[in-house]
Amino acid sequence: MWFFKTPEIVFGEEALAYLERLEGRRAFIVTDAQVRGLGLVRPVEERLRRAGFEIDVFDAITPNPTIDQVRAGADEIRAFQPDWIVAVGGGSVIDAAKAIWVLFERPDLDPLGISPMEPLGLRRRARLIAVPTTSGTGSEATWAIVLTDPRARRKLAVGSRENLPDIAIVDPSVVLQLPPRLTADTGMDALSHAVEGYVSTWHNPFSDALCLQAARTIFTYLPRAYQHGAEDPEARAQMHLAATMAGVGIGDVLVGLAHSLGHALGARFDLPHGRAVGLFLPYVIEFNARSAAGRYADLARAIGLEAPDGTEAAFRLARAVLDLLDRLEQPQTIAACEIPRDDFEADLPTLVEYALEDPCTLTNPRAPTREEVAHLFMYAFEGRPVDF
Ligand SMILES: [Zn+2]
């Protein structure tokens, strides 16, 4: 048995106008100060006002949202009592909005108590709309929530299937001015979703189709979006679509080890999610090559590479990812992230521990041992091709 769930997706220029058709009285907008400062919340507010909504804006979310921020949002939402929650931001904002939503409807729960095993009974009070302002995390199309515990410098993945947004408004005009570094970081996240979703041990024919198409689109359009930005609206629109497509693709099949390693490293050394995950992707493809050779060959063919039999196609795909990182001027090693070797080696046992415990390790095609995870970290620090 497998599941395939997706939000209602509204894509294209003027997709934001869909908000004017919304029925309800009070809308609680969750965002961050930067997104608000860029003027991206105003058009959402205007359209909701046209539909007759009273609005409250909570903009205290930061990148890598913390449990305390979610609790603060929960206090404010309880005072406002909305019937719609509208998340306007990147993955951090959308994830935080999902958690705030749970605490609004289930004040008895702690953010870390949100689990796929526990029925929540959401949607008695409010529903969730996500308006992504980056082209990457796909959070608008998944139920996962990643929160950060700043005291333990650790990321924690929680979430319930009920957390899937009801509506995703994917409007390319929102991402037109995305800065190049953010384009590269979030674009590499989207690519990691497409690749890891396609080789996930839980994959199904629906997720396969979406992940393959997303990988193909991202390889074509991410370098253009990075290089030309707002000058290339076609690349922007294709990347925005592909990120949501990959999000729907992984919604029920999860991702793999590049995410586990990336979560662990990103939280300890404060790296953006997509940069950390994208860095590990080529090493993880090489590590998994024998366990998922045929599926990596499909991906290699989808992006226009020749895919010979055996593990060679996986190694060619890994090289293509390294070339892409190069074109995007992204780090290809942990050392290149300016993390000193001593600090890294001192933290290595904790990094290995967290990566092994990460739920994303569960769906990786090759189950790693503790030693293999430690090796992967060391190889990625030094930039050595994986030979074990
Ligand atoms: Zn990701």
What is the tens place of the pLDDT at every residue in 248-268? 999 999 999 999 999 999 989
Picking from 133, 155, 175, the residue at the C-terminal end of a domain is 175
pLDDT at 357: 94
Tell me, yes or no, whether 162 and 41 share the same domain.
yes
Establish if 187 belongs to a structural domain. yes
pLDDT of amino acid 64: 86
Of 51 and 154, more confident: 51
Calculate how far, in angstroms, residue 146's C-alpha sits from the geometric centre of ligand 1: 10
Q: State whether 25 and 102 are in the same domain.
A: yes
Assess contact for 204 and 253: CB atoms under 8 A.
yes
- The CATH code of the domain that includes 60 is 3.40.50.1970
CA of 47 to the centre of ligand 1 (A): 30
- Distance CA(386)–CA(285), nearest Å, equals 9
Span from the CA of 250 to the centroid of ligand 1 (angstroms): 10
pLDDT at 375: 98
Ligand 1 center–CA 212 separation, angstroms: 16
> 118 vs 57, which has greater pLDDT?
57
Q: Are residues 85 and 18 located together in one domain of the fold?
A: yes
If asked whether residues 262 and 324 sit together in one domain, one would say yes
pLDDT bracket for residue 149 (50, 70, 90): confident
Same domain, 203 and 148: no
Crossing angle for the helix pair 273-288 and 257-269, nearest 10 degrees?
140
Do 350 and 373 fall into the same domain?
Answer: yes
Shared domain check, 229 and 159? no
CA distances from 167 to 104, 135, 164 (A): 19, 17, 9
Tell me if 2 is assigned to some domain.
Answer: no
Nearest CA to 93 out of 30, 187, 184, 46 is that of 30
Question: Is 69 a domain residue?
Answer: yes
Beta-bridge partners for 145: 158
307-363 tens-digit pLDDT: 888 899 999 999 999 999 999 999 999 999 999 999 999 999 999 999 999 999 999
Whether 363 and 337 map to the same domain: the answer is yes
CA of 196 relative to ligand 1 center, distance in Å = 10
Question: Is the pLDDT score of 115 beyond 90?
Answer: no
Poorest-pLDDT segment among 28-37, 155-164, 270-279: 155-164
Question: Could you tell me if 114 and 245 lie in one domain?
Answer: no
Ligand 1 centroid to 169 CA: how many Å?
19
How far does the centroid of ligand 1 lie from the alpha carbon of residue 23, in Å?
32
Round to whole Å and give the CA distance between 94 and 90: 6
What percent of the chain is modeled with pLDDT above 70? 100
Kindly state whether residue 216 falls inside one of the protein's structural domains: yes
Cα(273) to centroid of ligand 1, in Å?
7
Domains in the chain: how many in total? 2
In a domain, 388, yes or no: no
pLDDT of 300 higher than 90: yes
The predicted structure's pLDDT at residue 206: 96
299 within domain boundaries = yes
188-227 in b/e form (b: 16+ CB < 10 A) is: bbbbbbbbbbbbbeebeebbbebbbbbbbbbbebbbbbbe
End-to-end CA distance of the chain: 34
pLDDT for 112 equals 85
CA of residue 276 to ligand 1 center, whole Å: 9
CA of 259 to the centre of ligand 1 (A): 6
CATH number of residue 221's parent domain: 1.20.1090.10
Q: Print the domain residue range for 161.
A: 8-175
CA 321 → CA 121, 262, 279, 287, distances in Å?
42, 16, 9, 14
Give residue 189 CA to ligand 1 midpoint distance, Å.
5
CA of 51 to the centre of ligand 1 (A): 34
Residue 351 resides in a domain: yes
Residue 157 above 90 pLDDT?
A: no
Residue finishing a domain among 151, 175, 199 = 175
Among 175, 197, 213, residue at a domain's last position: 175
Same domain, residue pair 163 and 207:
no
Assigned domain for 74 exists: yes
Q: Are residues 354 and 247 in the same domain?
A: yes
Same domain flag for 185 and 217: yes
354 C-alpha to ligand 1 centroid (Å)? 16
